Amino acid sequence: MAALMEARGLHRHFGGLRAVDGVDFRLEQGEIHALIGPNGAGKTTFVSLLSGRLPVQSGSITLAGEDITRLPAHARVKKGVAYTFQITSVYPRLSVFDNVALAAQSAGARDLAPAVAAALARVNLTGLDREMAGNLSYGHQRLLEVAMGLALQPRVLILDEPTQGLAAGEIEGFKALVRSLVPQTTVLLIEHNMDVVMDLATRITVLNFGQVLATGTPAEIRANPAVQEAYLGGHDD
C-alpha cells in the first residue's frame, strides 16, 4: 500500500557536509511518526526537504502517490503539507485571530471566522482571539503556531521541536493535543524530549550523520544497540 508521504534516496549536501545522505522514508496515513537523532544528524535539513523549504539535490518525494519533489513550499502547503518551526513563527504584532486567519486564507478558506474558531478550539485557545500574539505566554505562542498549521487543513503536519521551552504541565497538554489530531491528520514529530517521543510515537526513525540508522516502534528503537550507542546512551539533542 502506498505511503501518504514517501522519500526515496534524498540527498542534500552543503559543500563537504552530507546533511542528508540517501534517506528513504515512509510516512503512513494517520500515524504519529517521530524523527530523532543527535545534533547535526540532519533532522531539520530533512524536514526542510519534505516541506520544500530546501530544494532536493537528488531523490524523490511523493505525497499520496503524487510526485512533489520539485514543488516549492507554498505549493506543498496547498497540497496539505504544513511545517511549524523550531522557533515560534507567529506574527507578534497581530492578534491571535489575524495570525490564524492568514493561515486559513492561504489555504483557501472563504469564511475565515469559523475556520479560525475551529483551529483555536482544537488547541484550547478559544477566547484569546483578540489578544496580541506577542503578549501570549511562550506556551500559548507554541499552541498558536499549531493552530496556524491546523488552519491550513494539512494532511501532514510537521512539528519541529514543539515542546522546547514548555513547562511539564504544558507538555502533558501538548501530548493530548497531538493525540487528538490523528488519524485525520498525520503527524511527523521532530523532538528532543525522549519521554514525549516514546509516549506519542507510533513509529520512530533515527537519523545519524544524514542517514537512517533505524526505523521501528518505540520498543524496537529502545532495544536497538546501534541506536543506544549513537543516541540514547547519553547524547542530548
The CATH number of domain 5-80+154-232, selected from 2.60.120.10, 3.40.50.300, 3.20.20.140, 3.20.20.70: 3.40.50.300
Report how far residue 102's alpha carbon sits from residue 152's, in angstroms, rounded to the nearest whole number.
Answer: 9
Q: Provide the pLDDT confidence category of residue 233 given band limits of 50, 70 and 90.
A: low
Q: How many CB atoms lie within 10 A of CB 33?
A: 23
Give pLDDT tens digits for 5-46.
Answer: 999 999 999 988 899 999 999 999 999 999 998 888 889 899
Look up residue 224 and give its three cell numbers.
536497538
Please tell me the predicted confidence (pLDDT) of residue 167.
84
Report how far residue 48's alpha carbon sits from residue 26's, in angstroms, rounded to the nearest whole number.
Answer: 16
Q: What is the pTM of this model?
A: 0.89
Q: Specify the amino acid at residue 98.
A: D
Q: Where are the domains of the chain?
A: 5-80+154-232, 92-153
Q: How many angstroms separate the most distant Cα atoms in the chain?
A: 52
| Cell numbers 507554541: residue | 142
By the 8 A CB rule, do 116 and 101 touch?
A: yes
